[in-house]
Amino acid sequence: MTEMTRVEHVEPRTVDVSQGWRWIVAGFRLFAKNPQIWIVFFLIYLVVELVLAVFVPVVGAIGSALLDPIFLAGFMAGCRALELDEDLEITHLFAGFSANVKQLATLGGLYLSGKLLIVMLAMGLTSVVYGPMPQLDLANLDAADPALLPLLMQYMVMGALVMALLVPLLMAYWFAPALVLFDGLSATQAMKLSFAACLRNILPFTLYGVAGVVLFVLGSIPLGLGLLAVIPVLFATSVYAAYRDIFVVVSGES
């Protein structure tokens, strides 16, 4: 069994580029230790998030955002249990509800606020360049009409801005649930440290992202069934592997 210790002042390491792929490999190894429970984890998480976001207007979307890091912390707890040769149980999924839940929920609120701010900022910047955003009727969209090209370009530019601005926010969020759960950091401390860790390791994360996109496409091919394994690996077990690689001090390490 691997013995791990927490450090009082967490400092992210800079790792080799190849680690981006090794995180995914390590993620699949963790998944393979108990694939059935991981799939159940994912399905419970998916159902709860979809029910809130789709069937409870406005309040459900907020609740979904607040619960997201709490559930992700549960995935992290499951990974830690497996690494310590413990049994993976359904109760691990709910570990975040009894461990620093206030900061985890705050993390979800900050992440949601950041996404809303980014959308508004992208809309504002696009309006400055192109003028007020007109309504686009997708039901009657005729791609052959040349008059629609400027309108489509406006929406494409806004979408590109949103995607570009979401990357730093995602970097700040990526390790934050694990840092709150395992290292006792506040939501803001965790987001700052997560962003710093991703920025220091931008090359391995680039490799990780490219490999993840390829795996996601491959997992979608057989009626999407492969995603039952790919999604838990990309958004949980490989994240834990990266967290451990960058942040965790192993006993005996210098």
From residue 254, give the alpha-carbon distance in Å to each of 16, 77, 86, 249, 250: 18, 26, 27, 9, 9
> Is the pLDDT score of 128 beyond 80?
no
Residue range 65-95, pLDDT digits in tens: 999 999 999 999 999 999 999 999 999 999 9
Residue range 189-224, pLDDT digits in tens: 999 999 999 999 999 999 999 999 999 999 998 788
pTM reported for the whole predicted model: 0.86
pLDDT for 223: 80
Beta bridge partners of 4: 250
- CB contact set of 73 (below 8 Å; sequence gap of 6+): 95, 96, 99, 100, 104, 177, 178, 180, 181
Residue in 68, 19, 1, 32 with CA at minimum distance from that of residue 241: 19
Residue range 221-247, pLDDT digits in tens: 878 889 999 999 999 999 999 999 999
Q: How confident is the model at residue 185 (pLDDT cuts 50, 70, 90)?
A: very high
Distance separating alpha carbons of residues 170 and 183, to the nearest angstrom: 20
Residue 48 structure tokens: 């709860």
> Is the pLDDT score of 166 beyond 90?
yes
Contact status, residue 26 vs residue 204, Cβ threshold 8 Å: no
